[in-house]
Structures are given as C-alpha cells and as structure tokens.
Amino acid sequence: MVAELWPGVPAAWSRRIRVPSTAAADPAGSRHNWHLLDNGEELAARGLDPVGTLLCVHGNPTWSYLWRSLLAAGSSGQSAPWRVIAVDQLDMGFSARTRVIRRLEDRITDLGDLTGALGLSGPVVTVGHDWGGIISLGWATRHREQLAGVVLTNTAVHPAGHPLPAPLQLALHPAVHRWGTTTSDAFVRVTHALARPALAREVRAAFRAPYRGAARRAGVGNFVADIPAGESHPSWPALARVAEDIRDLEVPALLLWGPEDPVFSDRYLRDLMDRLPHADVHRFEGAGHLLPEDVDVAGPVFSWLGSRGGANPDAAADGLPRPAAVEAEAFVPMLAELDGRRQDSSPAVVDMAPRVPDGAVPGPVTLTWAELAQRVDRLAAGLSGIGVKAGDRVSLLVPPGIDLTCLAYACLRIGAVIVVADTGLGTKGLSRAIRGAGPDWLVGVERALAAARLFGWPGVRISATELGSTVRRLYGVAHTVPELEADRPPGPDAGAERLSRPTADPDADAAVLFTSGSTGPAKGVVYTHRQLAAMRDTLKQTYGLKAGTALVAGFAPFALLGPALGATSATPDMDVTAPRTLSAAALADAAAAVGATAVFASPAALANVLATAGTLQAGQRDAFAGVELLLSAGAPIPEPLLAQVQDLLPAASLHTPYGMTEALPVTDISLEQIRAAGTGNGVCVGTAVAGARVAVAALRPDGSVADEASAEPGVTGEILVSAPHVKDRYDRLWITQEHSASLPGWHRTGDVGHLDAEGRLWVEGRLGHILTTADGVRTPVAAEQLAATADGAGRAAVVGIGPAGAQVAVAVLETVPPAKSAGPAPQELAQAVRSAVLNGADLELAAVLTVKDLPTDIRHNSKIDRTELAVWAAEVLAGGKAKRP
Amino acid sequence: MSLQVLVTGASGLLGGAVARLLADKGHRVRTFQRRHTAGGPGLEVLSGTVTDPAAVRAAVEGADAVIHLAAKVSFTGGWDEFAAVNIGGTRNLLDAARAAGARDFVFVSSPSVAHFGHALAGEGAGRADPQRARGNYARSKAAAELIALAADAPSFRVAAVRPHVVWGPGDTQLVERVVKRAAAGRLPLLDHGAALIDTTYIDNAAAAIVRALERMDQARGQALVVTNGQPRPVGELLAGICTAAGVRPPSWSVPGWLARGAGSVVEKAWLVAGARGWVRDEPPMTRFLAEQLSTAHWFDQRQTRQVLDWVPEVGLDEGLKRLAAYYGGGPAR
C-alpha cells in the first residue's frame, strides 16, 4: 500500500524546491520555497523514460491537487510515459506566502524561474485551468523552443469585449472582496461547490487543506484582485500581450471544456478557438468549472498526446473491405442548379402554408427559379453587408419553408456555416445544441428570439420578420431579414453580379446538423460544402432525381435539398418539426400544386396520412397518381403500413433508406425488396446507396468491438459506413470524433447489424443496447419484432439486466389497450411473448414486463431508450428491496 | 469406476434423488438418516443422527466418498439445535470420513450462506459469512461450509455445492406449502411477484451434486451455486407450480416491506408459541421467507458450469410438466 498524503496523491509525488526569483514584485536576491507534485522519481523507479513533460498550472483557489489524475496516468505505463509536474503557484497551495502582490507578469516570470531551477529540458506541453490557463500560455509563448503543445480547460485569455462574469464582479466588489476571498473562505468553498457531481468529502477537504486561516488565503484574495477587468488595470498589458502572442502558436492545442461554468462560459471557449483555430476541442456536456474533477480528463489528454505525436494507422490489410475511395471529382457547388436557372420562370419552391405576420389570408406562395435566385442573392448581399463572413456560424431558427430555404442558400453562397437545430430536440436539447455550436449570428422567428433571450443563446440577433421597436429592443434584435433584403436591391446586370458571387471553399464547413439526442445530449455534426454536395449527388443517383422532378417535402432535411437537386419542391401545410401533423389532404394539395413525382415523408407522418386518408376527395386522390417515388426515412416502417401506403400511391416505388445524421443515407430498400428479404435477425435495410460502402466490425463475446472491418456474411458487429457524404466531424467533440473515426476511412455508426450473402444490411439494434448473456452476445431487434407479434402486445423493447456476461433478457411491452400500471405482464401475455421470442430468435426471456409508454426520442418518437428501460427493469425485477443497504 | 459412497440426509427429496442417481451409475451407496427409509437396488440403509459420533463412524466405514446433505432445515428454531446438527454434525462427519480414509467429500450447502438480505442479480457464489447470513439455518450452514472447505486437502478433497430453491414432484418444502396455501387462499404475492428468482429442478440439483464428485479435481476447495439458470418473476413461478398442481394461482399482492415486517413479528410469536408447545407447524410467514419471496435471487452460472462441465438437463417448462403429471394429469385451468 502506497502512503498517500491526500486522497489519490502518493507521498513520493510531493516535493519542495527553493527557487531564486527574478519577478519584479520581489526584492533582488529573493528566493521562494515552491511545492509541487512531480511523478519524475516514480517514472525513474519504474524504469520508464518519459516522452516529455506536462507542466500543469492550477487556477484560483485550487492547487496542484487538481492534476493528480494526470500524474497517475503519466506513470501508469498504459500509454507512453510522461513526466507530469503540477506546481503550486506562489502564495497558493503549499508554496510560500510571499507577502507581496504578485501580478500576472510576476506569475509568468515565477513559472519560468521554477522551470529554470528544475532544469526542465525536452519537449513540454503546458496544461492550464482557470487563471492558470493564461499563466501557462504566458510561459508557453516565452519558451517556444521547447513547447510541444498546449492544453487548456475552462480558462480565459481575454475579456473578449465582454464585462467580467457576474460572480467575479461580485468577488471583486470592494464591499465583498476582502471578506469574501481572504477573511472568510467563502470563495474557496463556493469554487469547490461548482463540481458536478459534488466532490467527495475527503477530496473537498484536500482542496481546502492549504487554505485554512486568513493568512494562508491572502493569495486567493490577491489573485482575484489581479483579474484585469479593464485597460487601466496594471495587469492589462501582460494579458493583452499573451492573448495576442498565442495567435501564432503552431503547436497542437487541446481545449477541454465544461460548459456549466458560471465564470468561464462558452464565450471564452469561442474566443480561444478564434485565437487557436487549429485547436482540438471537446465540450463535456453537463460538466462544469472544475472539469478535471467532473470528468476523466487524463484519458483524453493522453490519447490526444498519443494521436498528435503518433504514426498514421496502417491501411487495411489485404482481403478486408476498404473504405470508399474519395474521388477527386469536380466539385459542383450546392448553388449550381440555382445559378443555372436564373432565367427560369417555372416554380422552384412552393410553400403551401407560409408564415403570415399580419393575419393575412394564408395561401400557397410560389417562387420561380429566377425569383429564388434573386432573393438568395439579395439576402447574401444583405448578410455580407452587416458583416456576416465566410466561416461565421449562423443559427437558423426559422420553420422549414421558403424563408428558411432562401436563408440557407444565402449563407451557403457567402460561405457562412448554417446551424440547423430543430424543436424536435426539445427545449433543453435545443438550448444545449445552440450553445454548443456557438453561432456568431442567430436568425429567428419571434418565438425563437424570445427563447434566445430567455436562455441566453449566443449570436447577433436577426429577426426573420419586422418587429415593433419595443419588442425589437426586448429581444436585442440588431437586424431583420426584410431590412437585409431591402438594403441591396439586385443589380440589373445579371452578368456582372455573377462575377461578384463568391464560390465557397469546397472543404470549408458548410453546415452543422444535430443528432436526435435519443442517446445522451444531441451531438453537432459538421458537413463541408463538398460533403453536402456529395449527399445531394448520392440522392440524385440512388433515386434518379433530376431536373423536372417535383417533390413534396414532409420531412425537414429534404425541404432544403430541392433547389440543390434542381427539383421543384413543395412544403405541405403542416408543422414539419411535428411529423404527425401531416394530413392526407395537406399532402394531396401540395402534390397537386407542383404535379408531384416524388414524396418525402417520415414514418410518423405517413402513419397520420393513412389515418386521415378517409377524408380525401376523389380529386385529391388523383394528385397522387403521378407520384413515382416515396422516400421515408427516420425509422423502419412495418411492411403492412407500407402496403397501405402503396394503395394510396399506386404508381410509386416505395423506399425506406437507412441512415443517420452523420451519413444520409447509407442503404436503401424498396417495398418489393423488403418482401423478398422476409424475416431475419433484425430489420433488413437493403444495400449501400450510390458511392457508399458498408461493413461491420465484429462484436466479441464480451460485447467489445473488433478493430477491423469485415464484410463476411452473417457476422454481427458495429455497422461501419464509408461514403463521400459522411460527416466531416462531430462539432467540438474531439473525443467522440476520434472514437467514431478510429477505424481509418470508416465512420462507426454505433448501430449493430450484419450483412447477408446478398450484401444486404440487417440492423439489429444499437451497440449500447446489446445483451451479453452467458451464451454470448445477443442483439435486441429481432426479439423485439417477435415479441410485438403476440396477441395484445404493442411495441416491445428487449433489454439485458444483470452483470455483463451473465445478463438475462427481459421484454418490456406496450400493450393494446395500454396497461394501466407498469409491472409483470399477465400470465397469458407473458407466455405468448416468451414462446414467440424463444421459437423465433432462440432467446429465453427471464421476464415480460408491461408499461404504459416506452420512453422514446422526441424527433422520431421511435428510438426507444433501452438504456433507461434496462435500469428500470432491473429495479422492478430486483423486488422490494432493490437497493443495497 | 464403482465407488462406495455415503449419502447423509437421504430421506429428503434431494438426498433420495442423489442416492438413486449414484446407484443408477453403478456406485455402491449407503444412506444415513434419522428416519428409517426404504432401500432399493444398490442401496444400503443405515439409521442414525449426525450428532452421534459413534453412529457417524459406523456410517463412513469403508466409504470412498461422502455426500453430506443431512441438516436441520427450517425457517425457525433455536440456535443451539441448528448449531448441533448443522455445524457439529458436519464436523463429526468430516472427522470420521478423513479417519476412515475417504478421498472425497461433497458438502451440500445453500446460497443463503452468502445472502445478506439484499437482491442478488446475476452474482457469483460469494463467500459464506456466518455473521451476516440471515436466520439460524443460513448462519449455521455458513459456518459448516467454511469448516468443510477449510478441510480440503490433496488427500481429502472437499467441495461445496449450493443448489438454489430445489423443487419437483414429491417436494414438501416448497411445492406442497405453496400448493396448500394457495388452495386455502393464503398465498399472497409480494410486490406483485416481480422479484426475479432462479430455481433448481430436483433432477438437475442431484445431477450437479453427483457431477461435483466426478470433477473433484476441478471443484475442490470451491463453493458452487447450482440453479436451472432460468430466473423468472416469483409470481410466475408460483403460478406455474399452482397450475401444475391444479389449484388457483395467487392473485392478490402485499407490499414486500409489510410482509417482511409482519414476518418478523410472526416469527417471534411462533418461537414463543413453539417453545410452549402451542404450535408444531412452521409459521405462515417469516422475515426470511418474506425476503426470499420479495427480493431477486439469481446467479451467474458460468463458473459452475465450467467447473462441472455440465448443463442442467431438465428445463423449467419440462419440470412443470413432470410436476403436473405427478399431481395427476395435465395442468388444470
């Protein structure tokens, strides 16, 4: 047993060193006693030769204790060894109390004095938290010859044009400052209380250990007083210099952030990203200021150190499926079709129920290709005019329809990045998504502007409509869309204007979309212009969409694609973010308006169309006669439902593509093909779409995933996709991105399934939902489909409960009619479900439970949260005394 | 190879099954129990109690192996009685068997020796703990198991097998009580009978015990929980048993906490009443029983099946079918 000084800190790490000071604050010849944590001796004792040194600088009022997990990881031997030195700054932690006011410049000098005295040679990566961030960066900019990288967590290098955060203003207020920071330990306590979840008692005690007694806390107060609130502050010049000097740091940078920080909020992260544009960024949704206490930072830091210095992974060995080749085809911009039809007076977009500001009679609004092109140009010019530039993020909080289409293409035109978050994420999810993406501009309808004010979303406010001056002030609206359009009337000379139209860099960011958030917080997904164009081309090729296609878009993402496809598109009278509001009549009217040849609708929308089909007039039914293609994506559709749709759309080929926000679409299957595939282990989703490849990474018996791609039929594994239209990356989620791309060339989907001998993909569930039983790994989907066939059963979820490797399977059902209370299913139903699953999938169910509703995501109402269900089922089946005492 | 095997406690359901299975496999079997029971082909019957060292010495005479099932099994009773039979009896048998030159000793135990009142969901065997086990039976068996496993040596191999909730045709411990109470309308479900419980069909329990004897090289020094590996909500199990026996399954539910509390009271009252000779039967509800019926008990069987190189042969459904046949025909509805 290693003797510990504090929880997690072996005595051998703690050391003291006397360092001559060259800081201006000290009289000449001063020497100070420093305390630090250093795993150097431990490395030597284990015979490990460090790759370099992590120099870790804490903030106020913590101390080197904050970095203990990095020290442990540095000498664990699990990754390349690093020496980790975590310092206690002077007047802080267990270092000397110097009795002088140390300013930022002094502290940067102090750190240099220390590393000089330590004789630190070889590559150094600085690590900083809170105000230790800028001090570490000050050291970094002055030791460039040995600097190998910078890591920053919840810090700031500049006020970034904003007043100090309120909590710090309070701490600095003359009436509060001395008492709050020094006389009492309020500042210390409050800071330590920011941990999420709360710190263990002994950890909290360790953090407070060096700050017992007012005399020990003088540094805490002085540190707060040294925060440069304005240009007149003595530390301002030092701050400004570091903030500027880091702009030309070329070493790798890693920014790890806890967004729930009342002081160092996302705006400081954005400022740092602006200064270090090459930085890898990960925001830990839900984590806060004391990030190293809230989440594991050591794991990501060391894997980052490895990946940034490591060799490129080898190409796939012979015989293994290779990812799709990225062909250097000529890039055709998303606006190409639009630009080619500037003189076309046929309809481009039809909005069946446009937003009506003043209670005017609603009715379809049509823009011709010429009008659409002009409006996009006007908006692009207007946006440029107010300062929106290439690379700026623009959050579009406008319902699908003509306005959204025009705004989106105007942004693409000028290279601004569209951020498309929809209300299907729920209010909380939407708020997290927008904060996470951190838009520079926010265009919204009034409801969105009100929410933006309420939740403090970032971005210069642009109202989609004219607003009265009071409301405008209330929401802090700087511009309106009508103003943007009025400012720049289109020039009469179309030819000259075309010359002035910039073309976006194909490999620059074009859009940020969001996952549905059914498994944890919604993730931002970044597409480049090239990848968006590839998505368009894949749809074109797979479904034969071409100029002359007239489509009705009852599914939000597709509403935006019409102009890029060169297809006339109509938005039906519905709330596109609530698919179940699409009626058969609304669909028919939209189809009639454009002479529809294609219909895009989500499964939930289709279900409602069928439910309301009885109200259709004969003329309305005729509008469907010309429909040749139906696409329904978002969730698998049962064959009987599709058969009913076929009755309604007799001439249409019905397709249900499989895909995800990160790759739309991946595979495709038609009704005929669904019938031909029959039943099997999972849902058959067909073969890869044009340009895409699909493989699996096999599941091992313990539920882990092999690290090579396989196309062998019948092997169940994590589904891998490779295609030119796969996302560029997850947004500000470096760890997630690294994981998703850990098999070079492939995107790991997190879904599990297998390929059959005909190359068809069968989806068997989510990786997080597999069951690890004593008989091996099992996937839920096939069993769920069988369970749902029992008399009286509705939707079903099959989950594993118990320890990994020894789990038993439990079915949780909705029933028809719905169960009044949750619990064990009636004997007869349980027997029916059990034998259906045993006979069909050879899976023995330990229990069958019924619930009123299965928990699902908001966007699709189809993705069942099996993780939550498994926890609940385990509690119910543990009996009355489920929890250990 | 034919062995001379002593089986203690062979008057019980499980002991009888073990003795018959051994005889069927061609071993020479001597049984030892308090009550006189019928012999059979290949069975030599001795009467006596394990608390009597002389009787025990006579019983182990010439035995190559001992399977020790004899125990005081009850939900209630005084500690001294449990200690004398379950701990003292085991000690007597260990001493005598070793002295008589027996090579192997299988101690039949119970998962309750490592159950401390909370739910067990997919756990391994766990170490027996006489301090924390619940009730006198479990505590005394825990102490005995520790003593038995401590005696394991290359020349005297000891393994412990812990079958969980053994049932089958002719079972008086579980099946008869359930059926009797259900018939009288006195069988409630606790917490709607949701607690997941794994049980062991009698033939499987007997097979696992005999298998342990055959795999002493792998099993020695270990405690192995044996079940069917088919956990079910307790309500479904009780319903299955009732249906097989032709009585109406329980349909009313009592909160588990209430039953556990009431069980404690009844248990104490019954002890007092029993001491004064007012009652002879087991009490209708004890805290131990309430815990058994309202908390999950199912186990990770991977270790057991690997060590024994064995899987249960009779599934739950087949077991219920055989039970129904025993009660005279198909399941009543």
pLDDT in tens, B1-17: 799 999 999 988 999 99
Instruction: State how far the Cα of B6 lies from the Cα of B29, in Å rounded to an integer.
Output: 6
pLDDT of A313 reads 37
CATH classification code of A681-767? 2.30.38.10
Q: Which secondary structure element, helix H or strand E, spans residue B43, and what is its range?
A: strand B43-47
A876 near B CB under 8 A: yes
What token pair was written down for B293? 């019926």
The residues, ordered by sequence, that sit 6+ positions from A28 with a Cβ below 8 Å of its Cβ are: none
CATH 2.30.38.10 intervals, chain A: 681-767
Contact A78, A121 (CB under 8 A): no
Report how many Cβ contacts below 8 Å link chain A to chain B. Answer: 102
pLDDT at A289 over 70: yes
pLDDT of A314 reads 40
Task: Please name which of A396, A349, A398 lies closest in space to residue A370, comparing C-alpha atoms.
Answer: A349
Residue type, A555: F
| pLDDT single digits (tens) B172-210 | 877 887 888 788 777 777 667 888 999 999 999 999 999
Contact across the interface for B121 and A846, Cβ inside 8 Å: no
What token pair was written down for A714? 């019948």
pLDDT of A409 reads 96
pLDDT at A682 over 50: yes
Contact across the interface for A878 and B196, Cβ inside 8 Å: yes
Could you tell me the end-to-end alpha-carbon distance of chain A, in angstroms, rounded to an integer?
Answer: 28
pLDDT at A594 over 90: yes
- Higher-confidence position of A263 and B94: B94
DSSP label at residue A508: S
Strands (E), A515-597: 524-528, 550-554, 568-571
Q: What is the CA radius of gyration of chain B?
A: 19
pLDDT of A518 reads 67
pLDDT of B264 reads 59
Range A710-714 contact pairs with CB under 8 angstroms and sequence separation of 24 or more: A710/A320, A710/A321, A711/A320, A711/A321, A711/A755, A712/A755, A713/A754, A713/A755, A713/A756, A713/A757, A714/A754, A714/A755, A714/A756, A714/A757
The residues, ordered by sequence, that sit 6+ positions from A427 with a Cβ below 8 Å of its Cβ are: A451
Contact across the interface for A805 and B232, Cβ inside 8 Å: no
Contact across the interface for B231 and A846, Cβ inside 8 Å: yes
CATH 3.40.50.1820 intervals, chain A: 4-308
Nearest by CB: B121 against A801, A827, A830: A801
pLDDT band at residue A493 under the 50/70/90 scheme: very low
Instruction: State how far the Cα of B186 lies from the Cα of B182, in Å rounded to an integer.
Output: 6
pLDDT of A815 reads 92
| Angle A875-A878-A883 from CA coordinates, rounded to 5° | 70
The mean of the pLDDT values for chain A is 89
Instruction: State how far the Cα of B183 lies from the Cα of A540, in Å rounded to an integer.
Output: 71
Contact across the interface for A884 and B231, Cβ inside 8 Å: no
Instruction: State how far the Cα of A31 lies from the Cα of A27, in Å rounded to an integer.
Output: 10
Task: Please name which of B169, B163, B239, B162 lies closest in space to residue B200, comparing C-alpha atoms.
Answer: B163
Helices (H), A104-235: 104-118, 132-142, 166-172, 177-178, 186-192, 201-208, 218-225
- In A, which residues are within 8 Å of B294 by CB distance? 879-881
The residues, ordered by sequence, that sit 6+ positions from B250 with a Cβ below 8 Å of its Cβ are: B182, B187, B188, B189, B193, B235, B238, B239, B242
- In A, which residues are within 8 Å of B134 by CB distance? none
pLDDT of A576 reads 66
Q: Which of A622-636, A717-731, B232-246 has the highest mean pLDDT?
A: A717-731
pLDDT of A885 reads 27
Q: How many contiguous H segments (helices) and E segments (strands) does chain B have? A: 13, 15
pLDDT band at residue B263 under the 50/70/90 scheme: low
Contact across the interface for A774 and B301, Cβ inside 8 Å: yes
Q: How many residues does chain A have?
A: 885
pLDDT band at residue A857 under the 50/70/90 scheme: low
Residue type, A702: D
pLDDT of A498 reads 47
% residues pLDDT > 90 (chain A): 70
- Pick the range with the lowest mean pLDDT from A373-377, A560-564, B175-179: B175-179
The residue of A842, A877, A884 whose CB has the most chain B CBs within 10 angstroms, and thus the best one to mutate to test that interface, is A877
Q: Which of A165-179, A243-257, A864-878 has the highest mean pLDDT?
A: A243-257
- Higher-confidence position of A279 and B255: A279
pLDDT of A184 reads 83
Q: Which CATH architecture has domain A4-308?
A: 3-Layer(aba) Sandwich (3.40)
Nearest by CB: A880 against B236, B294, B305: B294
pLDDT band at residue B75 under the 50/70/90 scheme: low
pLDDT at A317 over 50: no
Contact across the interface for A878 and B122, Cβ inside 8 Å: no
Contact across the interface for B122 and A881, Cβ inside 8 Å: no
Instruction: State how far the Cα of B288 lies from the Cα of B275, in Å rounded to an integer.
Output: 20
The verdict on domain B4-168+198-229+297-314 having CATH code 3.40.50.720 is yes
| pLDDT single digits (tens) A119-160 | 998 899 999 999 999 999 999 999 999 999 999 999 998 776
Model confidence, pTM? 0.86
Q: How many contiguous H segments (helices) and E segments (strands) does chain A have? A: 33, 38
pLDDT of B281 reads 61
Instruction: State how far the Cα of A192 lies from the Cα of A189, in Å rounded to an integer.
Output: 5
- In B, which residues are within 8 Å of A878 by CB distance? 119, 121, 195-196, 295-296
Query: To the nearest whole angstrom, how far is the Cα of A842 from the nearest Cα of chain B?
Result: 14
pLDDT band at residue A96 under the 50/70/90 scheme: very high
Instruction: State how far the Cα of A45 lies from the Cα of A849, in Å rounded to an integer.
Output: 56
Beta bridge partners of A35: A16
Contact across the interface for B300 and A805, Cβ inside 8 Å: yes
- In A, which residues are within 8 Å of B190 by CB distance? 879-880
Contact A727, A531 (CB under 8 A): yes
Strand duo A761-766 + A683-688: pairing? antiparallel
pLDDT at A559 over 80: no
The residue of B120, B132, B134, B196 whose CB has the most chain A CBs within 10 angstroms, and thus the best one to mutate to test that interface, is B196
Q: At A84, give phi and psi (nearest 5°).
A: -120, 120
pLDDT at A44 over 70: yes
Please list the helix, strand and coil fractions of chain A in percent, rounded to the nearest 5, in that order: 35, 25, 40
Determine the residue of chain A that is closest to B305 in CA distance: A774
Helix (H, G, I), strand (E, B) or coil at B64: coil
Nearest by CB: B118 against A803, A877, A885: A885
Determine the residue of chain B that is closest to A876 in CA distance: B194
What token pair was written down for A286? 């839900």
Domain ranges in chain B? 4-168+198-229+297-314
Buried b (16+ CB within 10 A) or exposed e, A847-881: bbbbbeebbbbbbbbbbbbbbebbebbbbbbbbbb
pLDDT at A496 over 60: no
pLDDT of A564 reads 94
Query: To the nearest whole angstrom, how far is the Cα of B240 from the nearest Cα of chain A?
Result: 9
Contact across the interface for A878 and B249, Cβ inside 8 Å: no
pLDDT of A577 reads 67
pLDDT of B204 reads 97
- In A, which residues are within 8 Å of B235 by CB distance? 824
- In A, which residues are within 8 Å of B288 by CB distance? none
pLDDT of A315 reads 39
Task: Please name which of A730, A148, A175 lies closest in space to residue A436, comparing C-alpha atoms.
Answer: A730
Q: What is the CA radius of gyration of chain A?
A: 30
A823 near B CB under 8 A: yes
User: Quick one: B7 exposed, middle or buried, by C-beta within 10 A (0-12, 13-18, 19+)?
Assistant: buried
Give me the mean pLDDT over the A698-713 stretch.
Answer: 93
- Pick the range with the lowest mean pLDDT from A463-472, A697-706, B177-186: B177-186
Buried b (16+ CB within 10 A) or exposed e, A623-649: bbebbebbbbbbbbbeeeebeebeebb
% residues pLDDT > 70 (chain B): 84
The residues, ordered by sequence, that sit 6+ positions from A527 with a Cβ below 8 Å of its Cβ are: A509, A510, A511, A512, A513, A535, A727, A728
A820 near B CB under 8 A: no
Residue A257 vs residues A268, A269, B111: alpha-carbon distances, Å? 10, 8, 49
- In B, which residues are within 8 Å of A806 by CB distance? 122, 300-302
Give me the mean pLDDT over the A676-702 stretch.
Answer: 94
Residue type, A756: D
User: Quick one: A17 exposed, middle or buried, by C-beta within 10 A (0-12, 13-18, 19+)?
Assistant: middle
Query: To the nearest whole angstrom, how far is the Cα of B127 from the nearest Cα of chain A?
Result: 17
pLDDT band at residue A360 under the 50/70/90 scheme: low
What token pair was written down for B207? 């097979």
pLDDT of A688 reads 96
- In A, which residues are within 8 Å of B305 by CB distance? 774
The residues, ordered by sequence, that sit 6+ positions from A670 with a Cβ below 8 Å of its Cβ are: A653, A654, A655, A686
Q: Which CATH architecture has domain A336-527?
A: 3-Layer(aba) Sandwich (3.40)
Contact B198, B165 (CB under 8 A): yes
% residues pLDDT > 70 (chain A): 93
Strands (E), A723-832: 729-730, 747-755, 761-766, 771-773, 776-778, 793-801, 808-815, 823-824
- What string of DSSP letters covers A688-753? EPTT-EEEEEEBPTTS-B-SS-B--TT--EEEEEE-TTB-SEETTBHHHHHHHT-STT-EEEEEEE
pLDDT of A879 reads 80
pLDDT band at residue B268 under the 50/70/90 scheme: low
Helix (H, G, I), strand (E, B) or coil at A324: coil
Residues of B marked as catalytic: 137
Contact across the interface for B195 and A878, Cβ inside 8 Å: yes
pLDDT of A884 reads 35
pLDDT of B179 reads 84
Residue carrying the six token digits 């020990």: A216
- In A, which residues are within 8 Å of B119 by CB distance? 878-879, 881-882, 884
Task: Please name which of B82, B66, B83, B64 lies closest in space to residue B74, comparing C-alpha atoms.
Answer: B82
Contact A457, A451 (CB under 8 A): yes
Contact across the interface for B291 and A881, Cβ inside 8 Å: yes
Q: Which CATH class is domain A771-878?
A: alpha beta
